[in-house]
Amino acid sequence: MILAMTEQPSNKPSKVQVIEINEDQDGQRLDNWLLRQIHGAPKSLIYRIIRKGEVRVNKGRKKANYKLSAGDQVRIPPVRIEAESGKKTLPKSLLDEVKASVLLDNQHCLVINKPVGLAVHGGSGLHFGVIDVVKALYPDLEYLELAHRLDRETSGCLILAKNRKALIFLHEQIKAGTVVKKYLAGLAGNWQGGKKTISAPLKKNSMHGGERMVEVDEDGKTAISHFRPIQNYKNLTLVDVEIETGRTHQIRVHAAHAGHPVAGDKKYGEREYNKWVREQGLKRMFLHAYWLEFMLPGSDELVQVTTPLPGALQNVLNTLEQ
């Protein structure tokens, strides 16, 4: 018998459930699938019930990295989820902001203009992320996954896939480098020399003062960014940045490597400069994903989505121009 999943609002143990994997779930890892099915479950619980054999796929044991196939029957044991104390509800103002930020909505994907300060995922002290907000706005969506990511302090175009087919199709394009991703960035100082391509490999998880950083390192992964200056302002340059690769913090590290860190970047920027630009009205990192080009399954048309520079960043440019 196939039973539908229900969220457990309290710490009462759920009942045994058997769920059949559908086509949209085909290819997902068992552990990741379970995290989505057992709402609020910590990863430690997921791995424990898999390791102990309480989770069965087609009546047999499977490891956490097992790739599910359409038609698989997955048994989920009764679990007890302790109620989280002090868990915040989603602010209505945030829900309204994200709802108004939808740039594209079709059968395959959503593209939103992600607000600055909103993480793509909850965790690490955050109670919610983009996925949680969009699921609250679209409760009838059975499938929703991020096609790529943006830093918490970066605003702009973000794609969310509505089905597995679209997600795989988008990932294939990203891997092939055919998804065009462009950003507007305010860089410290006055950029000299016109257009410049920075091809510097990046290695993440280096530790500096207890903080994880990304660094230019010859042993790192290939990373290519194309910088095109648009206009010089007082001690700041507005640049257009197109990235061929999507490494963690790529633009921020490449900009700092070029001697012009992103204005307001607390991790890779310059403290004194950030203090000065804050006095000019900058209250965030000056980085905005303004342009995306990609294809969708079953169509030969190129999808182009764009969103202008946020008013708060434009106001900083106006101040510096004056």
Sequence ranges of the domains in the chain: 17-76, 92-161, 177-321
Of 40-49, 118-127, 135-144, 244-253, least confident by mean pLDDT is 118-127
- Which carries the bigger pLDDT value, residue 210 or residue 5? 210
State residue 299's pLDDT score: 85
Burial (0-12, 13-18, 19+ Cβ within 10 Å), 166: buried
DSSP E strand boundaries for the chain? 17-20, 56-57, 73-76, 102-105, 109-114, 145-146, 155-161, 180-188, 196-199, 202-208, 211-216, 224-233, 236-243, 287-294, 303-306
Residue 100: CB atoms within 10 A of its CB come to: 10
* Nearest residue to 25 (alpha-carbon basis) of 17, 13, 37: 37
State residue 122's pLDDT score: 62
Burial (0-12, 13-18, 19+ Cβ within 10 Å), 264: buried
Of 22-36, 199-213, 284-298, least confident by mean pLDDT is 199-213
Say whether 96 is catalytic.
no
% of the chain surpassing 90 pLDDT: 65
pLDDT at 161 over 90: yes
The pTM assigned to this predicted structure is 0.77
H or E stretch including 135?
Answer: helix 130-137
State residue 102's pLDDT score: 96
Phi-psi region of 122 (alpha: psi -120 to 50; beta: other; left: phi over 0): beta
| Mean pLDDT, residues 125-135 taken together | 79
CA dihedral of 71, 72, 77, 81, whole degrees rounded to 10: -70
State residue 88's pLDDT score: 54
| Mean pLDDT, residues 103-113 taken together | 95
State residue 105's pLDDT score: 95
State residue 301's pLDDT score: 87
| Residues facing 211 on adjacent strands | 208
Q: How confident is the model at residue 2 (pLDDT cuts 50, 70, 90)?
A: very low
**DSSP output for 25-78:** GTT-BHHHHHHHHSTT--HHHHHHHHHTT-SEETTB---TTPBP-TT-EEEE--
State residue 244's pLDDT score: 93
Q: Which CATH architecture has domain 17-76?
A: Roll (3.10)
- Which carries the bigger pLDDT value, residue 246 or residue 237? 237
**Residue linked to tokens 């230019």:** 216
Angle between helices 30-37 and 43-51 (to 10 degrees): 120
Q: Which fold has domain 92-161?
A: Alpha-Beta Plaits (3.30.70)
pLDDT at 269 over 90: yes
pLDDT at 180 over 90: yes
Please state, rounded to an integer, the average pLDDT across all residues of the chain.
Answer: 87
pLDDT at 5 over 70: no
| Mean pLDDT, residues 68-75 taken together | 91
Measuring CA to CA, how many Å separate 62 from each of 22, 80, 102, 234? 18, 22, 39, 60
Condensed to tens digits (0 to 9), the pLDDT of residues 190-229 reads: 998 899 999 999 998 766 656 678 999 999 999 999 999 9
Q: How confident is the model at residue 24 (pLDDT cuts 50, 70, 90)?
A: confident
State residue 4's pLDDT score: 36
Among the listed residues 24, 72, 151, 265, the single catalytic one is: 151
Q: What angle do CA 235, 152, 44 make, to 5 degrees?
A: 150
Q: Token digits for 259? A: 């001697």
How far out from the chain centre does Cα 322 lie? 35
pLDDT at 65 over 80: yes
Q: How confident is the model at residue 11 (pLDDT cuts 50, 70, 90)?
A: very low
Do the domains at 17-76 and 177-321 have one common CATH topology?
A: no
- Which carries the bigger pLDDT value, residue 83 or residue 169? 169
* Nearest residue to 157 (alpha-carbon basis) of 168, 146, 144: 146
State residue 209's pLDDT score: 59
Q: For domain 177-321, say whether CATH 3.30.2350.10 is its number.
A: yes
